[in-house]
Amino acid sequence: MTNLLPKMAEIWQQTLNWQPTAQQQAQFQRLYELILEGNRQLNLTRITDPQEFWEKHLWDSLRGIAPQGQFIPSLQEAASVIDIGTGAGFPGVLVAITAPNCKITLMDSTRKKITFIDNILTELALINAKTLVGRAEEIGQQPQHRQAYDIALIRAVGTASVCAEYALPLLKRSGLAIIYRGNWTEEETTVLQNTVNQLGGVIELIEKFTTPLSDSIRHCLYLRKVANTPANFPRAVGVPSQKPL
Ligand code: SAH
């Protein structure tokens, strides 16, 4: 197999002020191979070209945890992080590879995907990550997970309002939710403002950027938890998406 990921050292340096070590590059490569393999059984991703995979999965995952192009400092310490709806491991596995001091929980409602991730964690020797099968609506009401995380990541799981309802209950006070989006409008900000208020959060930053190879538009929404989330959130399974706040 000659599916070799590009290194892109200069782009990493210019965009994130960082470069992967040889070990991290080897982990990226192994992750890519395992996903291509897993794709034969599971519907993991339609992005399989090496350059596109690098840009839309690797780079995109890490750009979210580097607002304004700098990694969030608490990731270098022992921050507890949860990736809600991790799927094939994005953005969570990338965070586990690049921030070895943080503790990350990779959560998904699909057991088959979590079994796949368990194998990835073993193959890449990622001892700072663990998996969790469940729905965000239920996990967010469990005492061992509610208000337990410093950072919640969520990419391509639902509308921003749904993502906010999944993420904010899981955060400690002063924790940060990072919602990955493609396009985003001012009107959406107005609607989200109201949702986030109800959940005990504020919109701290909305960042627009373009991806470095294909110039695709992206947004990341950074929500800060400033008050406890009322006990009725997240609502029962299916309600957040059926009756968005
Ligand atoms: N974050 C990954 C996967 C996105 S696909 C990426 O960006 O590539 C959405 C994933 O979210 C699926 O794997 C699905 O099983 C999971 N998911 C959807 N609703 C969920 C919920 N309520 N709780 C937990 N996981 C959920």
Residue with tokens 């992967």: 20
Tokens matching residue 95: 């965070």
Rounded CA gap, 104 and 126, in Å? 10
Whether residue 48 is predicted with pLDDT greater than 60 in this model: the reply is yes
Which ligand 1 atom is the nearest neighbour of the CA of 108? 25
Whether residue 91 is predicted with pLDDT greater than 80 in this model: the reply is yes
Average pLDDT over residues 73-84: 96
Q: What percent of the chain has pLDDT over 90?
A: 98
75: left (phi over 0), alpha (psi -120 to 50) or beta: alpha
Average pLDDT over residues 187-204: 97
Name every protein residue with a CB atom under 6 angstroms from any ligand 1 atom. 84-88, 90, 107-110, 113, 135-137, 155-157
Average pLDDT over residues 35-53: 95
Which architecture, in CATH terms, is 71-242? 3-Layer(aba) Sandwich (3.40)
Tokens matching residue 31: 């992750």
Rounded CA gap, 16 and 12, in Å? 5
Q: How many CA atoms lie within 13 A of 204 on its CB side?
A: 16
Average pLDDT over residues 82-96: 98
Quote the mean pLDDT of the chain. Answer: 97
Write the CA distances from 17 to 10, 95, 195, 210, integer angstroms: 9, 16, 34, 16
Question: Do the Cβ atoms of 196 and 164 come closer than 8 Å?
Answer: yes
- Beta strands at 171-181 and 149-155: parallel, antiparallel or unpaired: parallel
Which ligand 1 atom is the nearest neighbour of the CA of 157? 9
- Residue to mutate (ligand 1; options 139, 157, 162, 165; most atoms within 8 A of CB): 157
Residue-wise DSSP of 63-123: HHTSGGGS--GGGGTT-EEEEET-TTTTTHHHHHHH-TTSEEEEEES-HHHHHHHHHHHHH
3-state secondary structure of 224: strand
Rounded CA gap, 184 and 23, in Å? 36
Whether residue 47 is predicted with pLDDT greater than 60 in this model: the reply is yes
Q: How many CB atoms lie within 10 A of CB 148?
A: 17
Instruction: Give the residue whose CA is nearest to atom 23 of ligand 1.
Output: 135
Residue-wise DSSP of 163-220: HHHHHGGGEEEEEEEEEEES---HHHHHHHHHHHHHTTEEEEEEEEEE-TTT--EEEE
Which ligand 1 atom is the nearest neighbour of the CA of 61? 7
The residues, any chain, with a CB within 8 Å of residue 245's CB and separated by 6 or more, are 161, 164, 165, 194, 195, 198, 199
Predicted pLDDT of residue 230: 98
19-33 burial by CB neighbour count: b if 16+ within 10 A, else e? Answer: ebeeebbebbebbbe
Whether residue 15 is predicted with pLDDT greater than 70 in this model: the reply is yes
**Which amino acid makes up residue 147?**
Q
Instruction: Give the residue whose CA is nearest to atom 11 of ligand 1.
Output: 85
Question: Do the Cβ atoms of 186 and 35 come closer than 8 Å?
Answer: no
Predicted pLDDT of residue 2: 65
3-state secondary structure of 139: helix
Predicted pLDDT of residue 170: 98
Predicted pLDDT of residue 1: 55
Confidence of residue 11 (pLDDT cuts 50, 70, 90): very high
Tens of pLDDT, residues 175-192:
999 999 999 999 999 999
Distance 113 CA to ligand 1 centre (A): 9
Distance 143 CA to ligand 1 centre (A): 22
